[in-house]
Amino acid sequence: MDLAELQEIGEKQRTDRPSIRVRCCTAAGCLSSKSDAIKKSLDTAVKEAGLEKEVEVCSVGCMKFCGRGPLVEVDPVGKIYEMVTPENAPSIISAIKGGKATAIELDRNHPFFTRQKPIVLENIGKIDPEQIEEYIGVGGYQQLYQVINDLPPAEVIEEITKSGLRGRGGAGYPTGLKWATVAKMPPGQKYVVCNADEGDPGAFMDRAVLESDPHRVLEGMAIAGYAIGASEGFIYVRAEYPLAIERLETAIKQAKKYGILGSQIFESTFDFKINIRIGAGAFVCGEETALISSIEGGRGNPRPRPPYPAQEGLWGCPTLINNVETFANIAAILREGAEWYASIGTEKSKGTKVFALTGKVNNNGLIEVPMGITLREIVEEMGGGIPGGEVKAVQTGGPSGGCIPASLLDTTVDYESLARVGSMMGSGGMVVMDGATSMVEVARFYMEFCRGETCGKCVPCRAGTVQMYHTLTKLLKGEATETDLERLKAMCDMVKNTSLCGLGQSAPNPVISTLRYFPEEYLSLLKKESLNGKVAVSS
């Protein structure tokens, strides 16, 4: 297949379909609210109205405003309905011909939509993730074709480097540098790994991308494979994401059929096959060395680095590991150019970041915002603030991140600023908390999570998280003394500095950040007689 043929498939897809499309969200969130029944009801209504030639009902991925799901969008009318039920689905169809829909219409000009800058999410909610033709229809796989035919690997890497893209798994390592490192390793067997082991409480960005636009990730991985000289890739996805796994499998099958994946891609000499590996759902497997061990069939234990996976990864071969969102950025960067991408965001953090905005906030769902936006803009404008109250804190970065107090809401969203206030970008969970939230409870929640998820290999993480959890429980029961609080701080320091991998090294962060910004909440929980003259402050 050549470019003309690829474009022809896309063109056919665009022209052969009915002019009006009713899109129904069938990502995991809306599906759990029975959006499959809504789709059926819409289909029946179209048939009954005899509109099959003009109206097409199609399943698409996430439409972002998850808090108001299930969502149905009518295109090109431009109407989007919230909390649709199978009962009011027929009225949506009749509204196309001038009737009145019983479902509530969402305001498209709401800041939740208008402040977004979709790059990773550009196709999400617009195309059917189970049809490769739809992805091709929006220009998909053209970048893969072009790099294979026109761009030497070194230039692909240069383009990614120039774009300033940094790892979207949260740590922010420069993607171009990572690619260049693996590419420079001696030729031979190399691997590309996509880390889809998203496990942070409150995060669902990667799942949404995989469920809604799987081909995008496949294209990014294949381009990476071409750039670093790998012929095989693995997607490590957690078993808790059955729909994502199913759609990935479908996507791989379809791509193979068209000769876009597998051997001699686009009739070139480049081979690239992608395998899916299903993780049993251990948070530690997000850690790259543990993930590698898990793919190899071993226990998901991390090992000390160096050697880094770029030198010795899967089965001892050089391995490139990137997050889902990182791969999802690749095709867009190559299509629009590195300068375009680098023009978005801040000086050191380029491009956009996808967040799963959740918690005590009016509008929750999936957002993609340019780096440099402030937390206040996200929470108050896009999120619409807190139902009947004020923001107390925003938690970013999951168990590895921290709680940012309301006073610091003007902090900009970029790797450095978030780290400066004691949190981190993380993979993109953003949990908003209101005045009723006990920050010590929050700290304990994350500690409980880490305590259950540590692999148990190294002592500080295995035993330290348990002891910290105990101390926090003691505090919440009002049984802790000042000595316990001092010991808690000492444990934070010790676990952070001595643990083997990122899980343990960052596990104390929620405690450290809440101790830093909400010390009075900890003090007020101490046993009164232990306060040594200090007055307990009631929260």
Which residues contact other proteins by CB under 8 A?
282, 284, 299, 301, 303-304, 451-460, 462-467, 470, 487, 490-491, 494, 497-500
User: Which of residues 10 and 279 has its CB atom nearest to other proteins in the complex?
Assistant: 279
CB of 487 to other proteins, least distance (A): 7
Give the strand order in the sheet containing 232-238.
273-279, 232-238, 191-196, 319-323
CB of 102 to other proteins, least distance (A): 50
Tell which residue, 208, 231, 200, 207, has the closest CA to residue 399. 200
Output DSSP code: residue 113.
Answer: H
CB of 312 to other proteins, least distance (A): 13
User: Which of residues 168 and 451 has its CB atom nearest to other proteins in the complex?
Assistant: 451
Tokens 């969502």 — which residue? 71
In 2-95 the beta strands, taken as DSSP E runs, fall at: 20-25, 55-60, 72-75, 79-82
CB of 295 to other proteins, least distance (A): 18
Rounded-to-integer distance, Cα 521 and Cα 165, Å: 39
Can you tell me whether residue 20 is helix, strand or coil? strand
User: Which of residues 499 and 506 has its CB atom nearest to other proteins in the complex?
Assistant: 499
Kindly write down the DSSP assignment for every residue of 446-476, as one continuous string. HHHHHHHH--S-SHHHHHHHHHHHHHHHHHH
User: Which of residues 164 and 504 has its CB atom nearest to other proteins in the complex?
Assistant: 504
User: Which of residues 24 and 455 has its CB atom nearest to other proteins in the complex?
Assistant: 455
For the chain, give the longest Cα–Cα distance.
81
Rounded-to-integer distance, Cα 228 and Cα 231, Å: 9
In 379-428 the beta strands, taken as DSSP E runs, fall at: 391-396, 402-405
Structural tokens at position 228:
């670093």
Can you tell me whether residue 355 is helix, strand or coil? strand
CB of 462 to other proteins, least distance (A): 6
CB of 338 to other proteins, least distance (A): 32
User: Which of residues 455 and 515 has its CB atom nearest to other proteins in the complex?
Assistant: 455
Rounded-to-integer distance, Cα 484 and Cα 324, Å: 41
In angstroms, the Cα distances linking 121 to 118, 205, 209, 220, 222 are 5, 10, 7, 14, 19
User: Which of residues 385 and 504 has its CB atom nearest to other proteins in the complex?
Assistant: 504
User: Which of residues 223 and 458 has its CB atom nearest to other proteins in the complex?
Assistant: 458
Can you tell me whether residue 29 is helix, strand or coil? helix
CB of 297 to other proteins, least distance (A): 13
Contacts of 12 (CB under 8 A, 6+ apart): 133
CB of 15 to other proteins, least distance (A): 54
CB of 334 to other proteins, least distance (A): 35
User: Which of residues 187 and 304 has its CB atom nearest to other proteins in the complex?
Assistant: 304
Structural tokens at position 391:
């923001």
User: Which of residues 263 and 497 has its CB atom nearest to other proteins in the complex?
Assistant: 497
Tell which residue, 167, 298, 142, has the closest CA to residue 219. 142
130 CB-side CA count, 13 A: 11
User: Which of residues 14 and 299 has its CB atom nearest to other proteins in the complex?
Assistant: 299
| DSSP element (H, E) containing 356 | strand 352-359
User: Which of residues 94 and 467 has its CB atom nearest to other proteins in the complex?
Assistant: 467
CB of 479 to other proteins, least distance (A): 11
CB of 464 to other proteins, least distance (A): 6
CB of 315 to other proteins, least distance (A): 17
Q: Which amino acid is at 158?
A: E
Output DSSP code: residue 308.
Answer: P
| Angle made by CA atoms 81, 126, 205, in degrees to the nearest 5 | 90
- Is residue 29 within 8 A of residue 204, CB to CB? The reply is yes
Rounded-to-integer distance, Cα 185 and Cα 314, Å: 14
First to last CA, the chain: 67
